[in-house]
Amino acid sequence: MIFQPNSEAQVIKTIQDAYQDNKKLYVIGHGTKHQVGRPVEADQSLSLKALSGITNYTPNEMVIEAYAGTPLEEIEQSLHAKNQELSFEPYRLNILFGSHDTGSIGGAAAMNLSGSRSLKTGTLRDSLIGIKGVNGAGIAFKSGGKVMKNVTGYDLVKLLSGSYGTLAAITHVSFKTQPISPSQTTLIFNIANHSDAVDILCTAMGEAFDITAAAAIPKQDGSWEALLRLEGFDNSLNYRSKKLASLFRKHSEPQQLVAELSKARWKDIQELSPVRTVKGSIWRLSMRPTDAPKFITRLEQGQEKVKLFLDWSGGLIWLGFENENTQNCEKSIQHALRKIKANITLIKAPKSDREKVNVFQPLDPALALMSKKIKASFDPLNLLNSGKLYQDI
């Protein structure tokens, strides 16, 4: 049974009924990425797809608000028409699951779906300024609002972003937007190995270049490309690219992609091109950028054939395995990590495998207990996306 309410009142009614009957609900947006996470046990589905539409867009206040089911694409198009954008440049995870629909804005919020520019502007949660939702007892609530600076009460906005629908069904969201930079340039340095590539990214991030994205991508011949994106006015881009180029001259003379070519390259990254064609599971790991080279060396010495690339100055690693045995992939990641601290998320694997491995980084007992208590304060009967994040959460 799939409920597809088109008003907040209907969402409330659906959850209240489920609460009365103690029925578990599978909360989804457009469903394009519903396979991310642990398999959910549910009696019924609650799709937010029909609860759609932009409710307020005030470009000169840099704020956009919309119902949760509004397509991300619709939001982005409206913003582009006024020369604005969502700063966090969400990855197109939908492509991994064979969908052209970029999904709903509410789904993006529920996953904290973020991409390359988050290195500079923070992830989705740093742009999300208001949220309305309905909790597991069918009670509607709001947090935040439509102004950027707001510390009134607890920040449930952040708590809900990335909660994968386990605390509440998100019905409405408010985002701050930003002007699209007049121009952009990407410098690409050809580097012999991944440790030098990460070193270049980290060094550049530690200088005042105002870099808005920093990625490293392996090439067929085993060498690497270090990509640094600059955004701003043309004269300033010229100035900064020259300085950047001279800083790393000893490594290589950079290739420079300007304007549309630069955009196209980052779109490719946004669509996860370097890893998306693999047959097996796809993972993301965040860690200290300087830990990444050691991890990659060990991983590449291991058994599994793996495709990968680095974003966020090396602090975010995307892995795609050819081996279809997800458990073996998990083992090789663990083996390569050893003592390196990281936050591992399994993004794509068959359902049966997602039952056998840790989809999200396990919590230590104190955090697990606290998370359960928080979950219970929103969803006392554990009805919403039960088990999607962790057992019982």
Partner 1 sequence: MHIKMPKADHDILNRRDMIISALQDMLPAENIITAEDGMRPYETDALTSYKQMPLVVVLPETTEQVSEILKFCSEHKVKIIPRGAGTSLCGGALPTQDAVVIGLAKMSNMLEVDYKNRYARVQTGITNLAITHHIESDDFFYAPDPSSQLACTLAGNIAMNSGGAHCLKYGVTTNNLLGLKAVLIDGTIIDIGGPYMDSQGYDLLGLFTGSEGQLAIITEAIVRILPKPEGARPALFGFNSAEEAGACVADIIAHGIIPVAIEYMDKPAIQVCEDFAQAGYPMDVQALLIIEVEGSDFEIEKLLEKMVHIARKNGSTRFKQSNSEAESAAIWKGRKSAFGAMGRISDYYCIDGTIPTSQLPFVLKRIDEIVKSYDLSVANIFHAGDGNLHPLVMFDANDADSNLRAEKCSADILKLCVDVGGCLTGEHGVGIEKRDLMTYQFTIDDLNQQMGIKSALDPQWLLNPAKVFPLEIRPVLYN
Contacts 24+ apart (CB under 8 A), 82-86: 82/57, 83/179, 83/180, 84/59, 84/177, 84/178, 84/179, 84/180, 85/177, 85/178, 85/179, 85/180, 86/124, 86/127, 86/175, 86/177, 86/178
**Considering beta carbons, is residue 290 or 325 the nearer one to partner 1?**
290
**Considering beta carbons, is residue 214 or 304 the nearer one to partner 1?**
214
What DSSP state is assigned to residue 271?
T
Euclidean distance between CA atoms 314 and 150, whole angstroms? 32
Tokens encoding 390: 């962790």
Q: Minimal distance in Å, beta carbon 21 to partner 1?
A: 22
Quick one: which of 130, 117, 118 has its CA closest to 176? Answer: 130
**Considering beta carbons, is residue 71 or 309 the nearer one to partner 1?**
309
Q: Minimal distance in Å, beta carbon 2 to partner 1?
A: 27
**Would you list the DSSP string of 282-302?**
EEEEEE-GGGHHHHHHHHHHS
**Helix axes 326-337 and 292-301, enclosed angle (nearest 10):** 130
Euclidean distance between CA atoms 345 and 385, whole angstroms? 18
Quick one: which of 184, 201, 178 has its CA closest to 264? Answer: 184
**Number of other CB atoms surrounding residue 364 within 10 Å:** 7
**Considering beta carbons, is residue 158 or 251 the nearer one to partner 1?**
158
Q: Minimal distance in Å, beta carbon 309 to partner 1?
A: 16
Q: Minimal distance in Å, beta carbon 153 to partner 1?
A: 5
214 neighbors 228 (Cβ within 8 angstroms): yes
Q: Minimal distance in Å, beta carbon 49 to partner 1?
A: 25
**Considering beta carbons, is residue 44 or 193 the nearer one to partner 1?**
193
Q: Minimal distance in Å, beta carbon 209 to partner 1?
A: 8
Radius of gyration of the chain (CA): 21
The three-class DSSP label of residue 145 is coil
Q: How far is CA 223 from the centre of its chain?
A: 27
**Considering beta carbons, is residue 96 or 157 the nearer one to partner 1?**
157
**Considering beta carbons, is residue 49 or 167 the nearer one to partner 1?**
167
Q: Minimal distance in Å, beta carbon 258 to partner 1?
A: 18
Q: Minimal distance in Å, beta carbon 127 to partner 1?
A: 10
**Which amino acid, one-letter code, is at 139?**
I
**Considering beta carbons, is residue 44 or 238 the nearer one to partner 1?**
238
**Considering beta carbons, is residue 49 or 354 the nearer one to partner 1?**
354
Start-to-end C-alpha separation, the chain: 22
Q: Minimal distance in Å, beta carbon 133 to partner 1?
A: 9
